[in-house]
């Protein structure tokens, strides 16, 4: 900020006189501060102690200039004529708004003081002070000049401000080099800082005292004092519907500022939250103070999210108020780079201002030839007193321009999604389910990834490359482009399999060498998976989803190689199972079929299928092997069974033959017995002998029993 420099004026009257003539007045000559060093050379030495005392109760800064003047112009003799040169007074500059001007000699005798405007000077006027008497050669006059600095009303062009809560004024002194002292006294309760020349500080009974002695270049000296007493600020609490609370604190003499800021809070904060897509992010009361300090450093305000403080200058500028309120979102919690926080804050402040019927300023397209042009990655937050005004102007405008271009390209909805990801620290490369989080804050790399991945931007990279990056950073974009191409191919090949988290983190962290190693390993996994898909389709089975889960959870190349090995094991088991299924379906032949009688191969194959689908490869192989072994052994088993059956048939035949032979043998024996019995019967018929039947109830008279009738007849006869 360009601070006003006081106009210091001394009035010198030169009167040539003769001893014999009345004095003749010459026209007065005025000298500016740049001529002040000529005082001694011009005939008068000036010593000065100027004291500034802040009096908040009276609402003024009381100024006392204790000045001593000595005429060093000797009388001039020309024959009998003596010319005496003398001074009748002097002029001292005072700020506009100064009042109660008074001058007196050291012993208290008042002298005349006449205020006078100076053409072309708006912030200062002069007091023409008369000496009590003409100041002749080697004479010394001591004059004390006092006045009050009342300050001007808020938003006045003059920077002087004096009220119970704040005082701002410029302290200076006039006089010869090495003969000027400036002293400033600030009462207890005020926090003060100074701008301009260095001023040593002491504490005297609670008063802060700045003292600069023996000033070597008083014409260049300037000390601007800013003193604040926040306890004296007026306060007004504002609570919004969402619970956001603010304490608006204004200078006691500026109710207009208080009402204006309250209006911006009540209308602007809800509109900002809706447009950004994130609720007001600060818990606790935020203090919004009217202050002049930011303006002194060339800024309109500042915001601290950590201390919940906002300071805004006295101007009634809606864009400034909304910009500072936007920093509740756009600060170090979201972004690690200044251009991002400032650019987003300005874009959203302007958008809300327009919604509320205002007319925000638009950014201008930057040029590399602009004063202060700088790559924004190097645009960092300076100490206030060390800021380069041209760099600051360029940085603010270019940040605004870039973010506005990005906002216009993707639109408010997509940008809302991008900001939500930044707020929640979501990973830029998402997989399945809820996005993972990252530890790093919002960098230009992260913003670029999110703008492209979430917002669909195609222009952000060129904007960032042109205005943000230095050469070494631009080189990363080529590496990124190559890695992103390979990553896109992998994602497409993966289909329903999302990229591994280790790869997605490497891409998000811009570790592209590592990312490409992971891509190569992941590609091998997908190739193995495709083979596994073919086997699963051939078997009409599904395989365990643990492969997909493990793939997506993989963080290292070793993890991915282990998955390849596991898939190859699954494929190997599939080959074994498929072979057993094929074997079971083949024609077994007569002996094979005979050998497989009583086995249950389908049950074994079902168990093998179930085990394979569940990833139980040991059981799969065991059942498949059992099927294969059973089928392989079936011919031998059938042959053995056939032999066993043949032997059994022969044995049965033999048994039948034996049985037949035995039966025939019995019949022959029976027939022989019957014949013998008949013969015996006939032999004993006439002698009255009893005939005994054979044991089976037959007699020996014939197989058909016809002889029984004859025997019956004989028997009957014998009975008689």
Could you read off the pLDDT of 670-708 as tens digits, one per residue?
A: 654 565 555 455 544 444 443 444 444 444 444 444 444
Tokens of 306: 């950590």
Between 76 and 402, residue with greater pLDDT = 402
Q: CB 131: neighbour CB atoms within 10 A? A: 20
**Same-domain pairing of 85 and 209:** yes
Q: To 10 degrees, what angle do helices 338-355 and 389-423 make? A: 80
**Same-domain pairing of 171 and 300:** no
b/e 348-361 (16+ beta carbons within 10 angstroms → b): bbbbbbeeeebebe
Distance of alpha carbon 126 from its chain centroid, rounded? 57
Find which of 195-204, 219-228, 346-355 is predicted with most confidence, using mean pLDDT.
346-355
- Residue 611 maps to a domain: yes
| The domain boundary residue, chosen from 643, 669, 688 | 643
Which CATH number does the domain housing residue 260 bear? Answer: 1.10.390.10
Q: CB 274: neighbour CB atoms within 10 A? A: 14
**Same-domain pairing of 78 and 107:** yes
Q: Is 652 exposed, middle or buried (0-12, 13-18, 19+ CB in 10 A)?
A: exposed
- Residue 487 maps to a domain: no
- Mean pLDDT score across all residues of the chain: 84
Which CATH number does the domain housing residue 223 bear? Answer: 2.60.40
Q: Which of 214-228, 395-409, 587-601 has the lowest mean pLDDT?
A: 587-601
Q: How far apart are CA 519 and CA 490, in angstroms?
A: 7
Q: In terms of DSSP bridges, do strands 309-312 and 81-83 run parallel, antiparallel, or are they unpaired? A: unpaired
**Same-domain pairing of 57 and 142:** yes
Tokens of 361: 């300023």
Check whether 647 has a pLDDT greater than 90.
Answer: no
- Residue 446 maps to a domain: no
**Same-domain pairing of 141 and 280:** no
Between 530 and 666, residue with greater pLDDT = 530
- Residue 203 maps to a domain: yes
- pLDDT of 6 reads 29
Q: What is the mean pLDDT of residues 353-378?
A: 95
- pLDDT of 292 reads 78
Q: Which of 259-268, 303-312, 491-500 has the lowest mean pLDDT?
A: 303-312
- pLDDT of 599 reads 67
Q: What is the mean pLDDT of residues 659-669?
A: 56
- pLDDT of 650 reads 61
- pLDDT of 405 reads 98
**Same-domain pairing of 237 and 325:** yes
- pLDDT of 1 reads 28
- pLDDT of 632 reads 78
Looking only at Cα atoms, what is the longest distance across the chain?
234
| pTM (2 d.p.) | 0.74
**Same-domain pairing of 133 and 221:** yes
- Residue 178 maps to a domain: yes
Q: How far apart are CA 106 and CA 69, in angstroms?
A: 12
Note down the domain range covering 242: 233-329
**Same-domain pairing of 207 and 274:** no
The total number of structural domains that make up the chain: 4
**Same-domain pairing of 592 and 574:** no
| The domain boundary residue, chosen from 542, 558, 585 | 585
Cα angle 294, 298, 302 (rounded to 5 degrees) comes to: 35
- pLDDT of 716 reads 42
171-213 per-position pLDDT tens digit = 999 999 999 999 999 999 999 988 888 999 999 999 999 999 9
- pLDDT of 151 reads 76
**Same-domain pairing of 62 and 191:** yes
Nearest to 386 by CA among 319, 293, 298, 463: 298
59: left (phi over 0), alpha (psi -120 to 50) or beta: left
Check whether 709 has a pLDDT greater than 70.
Answer: no
List all residues 6 or more positions away from 300 whose beta carbon is below 8 Å from its beta carbon: 294, 312, 313, 315, 317, 320, 323, 324
- Residue 185 maps to a domain: yes
Q: How far apart are CA 424 and CA 542, in angstroms?
A: 37
The β-bridge partners of 145 are 65, 103
- Residue 320 maps to a domain: yes
| The domain boundary residue, chosen from 228, 257, 274 | 228
pLDDT band at 365 (very low <50, low <70, confident <90, very high): very high
Nearest to 377 by CA among 362, 399, 346, 397: 399
**DSSP character at residue 454:** T
How far apart, in Å, are the Cα atoms of 152 and each of 94, 167, 184, 298, 647? 13, 11, 20, 20, 133
- Residue 658 maps to a domain: no
**Same-domain pairing of 276 and 162:** no
**Same-domain pairing of 243 and 165:** no
Check whether 315 has a pLDDT greater than 80.
Answer: yes
2-43 per-position pLDDT tens digit = 222 222 223 323 322 222 222 222 223 333 333 333 344 468
48-64 per-position pLDDT tens digit = 999 999 999 888 999 99
Between 295 and 301, residue with greater pLDDT = 301
How many percent of the chain have pLDDT more than 70?
81
List all residues 6 or more positions away from 408 whose beta carbon is below 8 Å from its beta carbon: none
Q: How far apart are CA 176 and CA 47, in angstroms?
A: 6
Is there a contact between 318 and 358 (Cβ–Cβ < 8 Å)? Answer: yes
Q: How many residues does the chain have?
A: 720
């Amino acid at each position: 900020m360009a601070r006003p420099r006081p106009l210091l004026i001394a009035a010198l009257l030169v009167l040539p006189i003769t001893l014999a003539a009345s004095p003749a007045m010459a026209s007065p000559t005025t000298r500016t501060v740049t001529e002040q060093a000529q005082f001694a050379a011009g005939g008068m030495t000036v010593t000065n102690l100027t004291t500034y005392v802040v009096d908040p109760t009276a609402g003024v800064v009381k100024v006392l200039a204790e000045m001593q003047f000595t005429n060093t112009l000797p009388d001039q003799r020309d024959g009998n004529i003596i010319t005496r040169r003398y001074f009748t007074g002097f002029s001292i500059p005072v700020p506009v708004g100064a009042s109660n001007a008074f001058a007196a000699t050291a012993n208290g005798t008042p002298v005349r003081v006449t205020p006078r405007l100076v053409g072309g000077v708006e912030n200062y006027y002069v007091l023409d002070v008369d000496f009590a008497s003409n100041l002749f050669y080697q004479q010394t006059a001591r004059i004390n000049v006092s006045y009050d600095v009342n300050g001007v009303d808020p938003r006045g062009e003059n920077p002087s401000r004096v009220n119970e809560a704040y005082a701002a004024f410029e302290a200076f002194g006039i006089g010869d080099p090495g003969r000027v002292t400036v002293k400033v006294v600030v009462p207890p309760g005020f926090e003060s800082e100074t701008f301009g020349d260095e001023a040593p500080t002491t504490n005297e009974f609670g008063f802060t005292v700045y003292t600069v002695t023996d000033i070597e270049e008083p014409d260049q000296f300037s000390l601007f004092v800013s003193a604040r007493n926040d306890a004296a600020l007026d306060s007004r609490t504002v609570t919004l519907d969402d619970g956001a609370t603010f304490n608006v604190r204004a200078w006691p003499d500026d109710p207009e500022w208080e009402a204006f800021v309250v209006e911006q809070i009540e209308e602007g904060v809800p509109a900002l939250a809706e447009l950004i897509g994130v609720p007001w992010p600060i818990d606790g009361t935020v203090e919004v103070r009217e202050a002049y300090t930011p303006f002194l450093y060339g800024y309109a305000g500042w915001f601290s999210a950590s201390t919940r403080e906002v300071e805004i200058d006295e101007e009634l500028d809606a864009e400034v108020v909304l910009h500072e309120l936007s920093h509740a979102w756009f600060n170090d919690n979201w972004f690690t780079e200044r251009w991002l926080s400032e650019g987003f804050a300005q874009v959203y402040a302007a958008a809300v201002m327009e919604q509320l019927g205002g007319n925000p300023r638009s950014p201008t397209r930057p040029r590399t030839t602009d004063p202060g042009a700088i790559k924004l990655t190097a645009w960092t937050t300076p100490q206030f007193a060390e800021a380069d005004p041209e760099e600051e102007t360029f940085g603010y405008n270019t940040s605004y321009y870039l973010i506005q271009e990005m906002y216009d390209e993707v639109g408010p909805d997509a940008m809302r999604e991008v900001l939500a990801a930044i707020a929640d620290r979501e990973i830029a490369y998402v997989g399945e389910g809820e996005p993972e989080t990252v530890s790093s804050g919002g960098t230009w790399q992260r913003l670029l990834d999110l703008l492209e991945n979430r917002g669909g931007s195609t222009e952000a990279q060129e904007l960032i490359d042109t205005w943000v990056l230095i050469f070494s950073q631009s080189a990363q974009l080529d590496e990124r482009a190559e890695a992103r191409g390979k990553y896109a191919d992998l994602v497409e090949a993966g289909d329903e399999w999302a990229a591994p988290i280790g790869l997605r983190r490497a891409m998000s962290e811009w570790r592209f060498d590592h990312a490409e190693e992971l891509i190569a390993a992941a590609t091998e996994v997908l190739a193995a998976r495709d083979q596994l898909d073919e086997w699963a389709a051939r078997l009409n089975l599904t395989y365990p989803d643990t492969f997909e889960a493990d793939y997506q959870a993989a963080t290292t190349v070793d993890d991915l190689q282990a998955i390849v090995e596991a898939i190859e094991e699954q494929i190997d088991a599939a080959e074994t199972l498929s072979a057993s299924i094929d074997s079971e379906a083949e024609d077994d032949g007569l002996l094979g079929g005979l050998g497989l009688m009583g086995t249950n191969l389908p049950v074994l194959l079902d168990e093998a299928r179930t085990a394979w689908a569940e990833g139980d490869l040991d059981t799969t192989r065991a059942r498949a092997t059992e099927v294969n072994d059973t089928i392989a052994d079936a011919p031998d088993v059938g042959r053995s069974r056939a032999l066993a059956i043949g032997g059994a048939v022969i044995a049965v035949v033999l048994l039948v033959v034996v049985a037949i032979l035995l039966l025939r043998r019995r019949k022959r024996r029976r027939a022989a017995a019957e014949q013998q019995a008949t013969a015996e019967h006939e032999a004993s018929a006439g002698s009255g002998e009893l005939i005994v039947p054979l044991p089976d109830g037959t007699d020996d008279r014939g197989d058909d029993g016809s002889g029984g009738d004859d025997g019956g007849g004989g028997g009957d006869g014998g009975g008689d």
